[in-house]
């Protein structure tokens, strides 16, 4: 399995709940993390909070461009609104790097959540179009931000589907999932099959509402 303990992981949108939660878990697993945000100040403020929570030093905060430049692997955990614009602005910083897109393009109305249509097929495919020199993967869509933040939950009971067309990149991202206790990275197909993984988050939200749960999935027979 790929050695990830030497990687520096950047988290764009690192002050949002999903980004913060994964940053916290990676930091506790001994991985260096850089939070990115529009404001370097807000990023550093969030990093200081996480350093205290995680009881580790290796979390810093920078503006998004400096975060992308500093990191070896970059998680994109920003709201769907602004996804394209942000990535377009970071094309140079993200060139040659492994990019992990975990964005779920969802809408909400009175009947609950639903998948938004995406011109490129999915958020991950949009990232691949916008970042032709990056190694784009898709993963971590279904991980509950609530459970990530709850350090009383020592094991995350979830499989992370990792999609992409670059085997070495998906192996590295799977190893980043495996680094978090209880989590398991499973190869989940090519990037063109990312839409349904992103959209499935709408189903998990419906399940959470019906069963008062923080649902995730496990893949059986693997």
Contacting residues toward its own copies, per CB under 8 A: 111-115, 157-158, 161, 163, 186-190, 192-193, 195-197, 199-200, 202-203, 206-207, 210-211, 213-222
CA dihedral sign, ordered 79, 7, 164, 156: negative
Q: Considering the complex, state which of residue 41 and residue 150 has its C-beta at the smaller distance from its own copies.
A: 150
CB 106 within 8 A of CB 97: no
13: left (phi over 0), alpha (psi -120 to 50) or beta: left
Identify any residues that bridge with 75 across adjacent strands, giving them in sequence order: 11, 100
Distance of closest approach, residue 169 Cβ to its own copies, in angstroms: 15
Q: Residue 173, SS3?
A: helix
Distance of closest approach, residue 111 Cβ to its own copies, in angstroms: 6
Q: Considering the complex, state which of residue 36 and residue 113 has its C-beta at the smaller distance from its own copies.
A: 113
Q: Considering the complex, state which of residue 135 and residue 195 has its C-beta at the smaller distance from its own copies.
A: 195
Distance of closest approach, residue 163 Cβ to its own copies, in angstroms: 8
Distance of closest approach, residue 96 Cβ to its own copies, in angstroms: 24
Identify any residues that bridge with 66 across adjacent strands, giving them in sequence order: none
CA–CA dist 137, 160 (Å, integer): 12
């Amino acid at each position: 399995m790929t050695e990830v303990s030497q990687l520096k992981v950047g988290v764009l949108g690192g002050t949002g709940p999903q980004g913060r939660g994964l940053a916290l878990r990676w930091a506790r697993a001994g991985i260096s993390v850089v939070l990115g945000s529009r404001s370097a100040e807000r990023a550093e403020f969030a990093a200081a909070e996480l350093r205290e929570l995680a009881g580790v030093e290796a979390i810093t905060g920078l503006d998004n461009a400096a975060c992308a430049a500093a990191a070896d692997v970059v998680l994109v955990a920003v709201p769907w609104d602004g996804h394209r614009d942000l990535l377009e602005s970071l094309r140079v910083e993200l060139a040659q790097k492994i990019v992990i897109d975990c964005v779920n393009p969802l809408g909400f109305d009175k009947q609950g959540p639903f998948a938004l249509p995406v011109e490129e097929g999915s958020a991950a495919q949009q990232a691949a179009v916008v970042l032709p020199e990056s190694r784009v993967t898709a993963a971590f869509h279904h991980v509950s931000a609530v459970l990530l933040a709850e350090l009383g939950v020592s094991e995350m009971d979830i499989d992370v589907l990792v999609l992409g067309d670059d085997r070495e990149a998906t192996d590295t991202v799977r190893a980043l999932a495996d680094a978090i206790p209880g989590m398991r990275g499973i190869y989940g197909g090519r990037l063109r099959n990312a839409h349904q993984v992103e959209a499935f988050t709408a189903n998990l939200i419906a399940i959470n509402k019906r069963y008062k749960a923080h649902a995730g999935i496990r893949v059986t027979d693997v």
